[in-house]
Structure 1
Amino acid sequence: MAIVITPQIVLNEREISEVFTTSSGPGGQNVNKVASAVHLRFDVLQSAGLSDEVKARLRPLAGRRMSKDGVIHIIAQRFASQERNREDARARLVAMIRAALERPVPRVATRVSRTQKAKRLESKARRGQTKMLRSSIPEN
């Protein structure tokens, strides 16, 4: 089975490893007996389905969730059910990869107009004048 990111990008399930542990989340008395939390690991650098450009954009998006080796680690323990936590972890991974697919809009450098500069300097001069008038008068 495969995980579909977009119609063009599909991840193989073998690229993802999941470990199930006991959760600190909801589950009542069952929480200490059932391994409902999911620790999902995805090796970004070894993934064949992602381009180098997307891999590079994933690093800042993943933040602390990505190790130095390029492995994304997601822990899901929001739900009492193992299956729902598994779906949640996979959905978060897919959302992160989809966000990395979007190319950032390049910044267009702009200049401050001459009238804007003049207005700013004039308001600074006015403010300085106000502060100067507030100062005490020197005694002779």
Structure 2
Amino acid sequence: MISITSALSIPDNEINFITSRSSGPGGQHVNKTSSKVTLVFNLEKSTALSFHQKYLIRGKLANRINSKGELHLSCEEHRSQFRNKEEVVERFRKLLLDGLKPPKVRRKTKVPYSTKVKRINGKKKRANVKKNRSRPDY
């Protein structure tokens, strides 16, 4: 059971771990052991998340979710499989936590008068520069 918030936990049966040989540190050890850990979470089939939560996560993590609705995270930083598994679970927890934050509501603001004046003055200055480059009328 992975605890995301106090009210939300993802059961272990919804998460799959795939191990493989990594390219990380470890020398010959890395060539013999499967220390890379990949976490696979199927967002679409999850029963722990509500429809609204899935919608939020799908929107924020769209580039990380494949066409089957699976989220893949992998870690091969450490020499041991155990530490890589802990690392990938922590990343997963943070990703879901960030994905569940509601988007900030944009408040409309008025463009300040001074900014409008600066813009107009800049345009006038630029027009004068271009005008002075032209051939004088005699």
Q: CA RMSD in A?
A: 2.0
1:87 aligns with 2:86: yes
Shift of 1:119: 3.4
Normalising by structure 2, we get a TM-score of 0.88
The one-letter code of the counterpart of 2:97 is: R
Q: Secondary structure at the match of 2:61?
A: helix
Contact 2:22 2:30 in 1 (8 A): yes
Aligned to 1:14: 13
Moved more, 53-62 or 42-51: 53-62
The one-letter code of the counterpart of 1:131 is: K
Seen in structure 2, the aligned counterparts of structure 1 residues 46 and 84 have a Cα distance that, compared at 3 Å, is: same
Identity %: 33
Aligned counterparts, 1:53-132, within 5 A = 53-113=52-112, 116-132=115-131
In the alignment of these two chains, the number of paired residues is: 138
Normalising by structure 1, we get a TM-score of 0.87
Aligned to 2:48: 49
Moved more, 124-133 or 33-42: 124-133
Distance 1:46 1:73 in 2: 14
Seen in structure 2, the aligned counterparts of structure 1 residues 27 and 60 have a Cα distance that, compared at 3 Å, is: farther
Q: Secondary structure at the match of 1:72?
A: strand
Unaligned runs of 5+ in 2: none
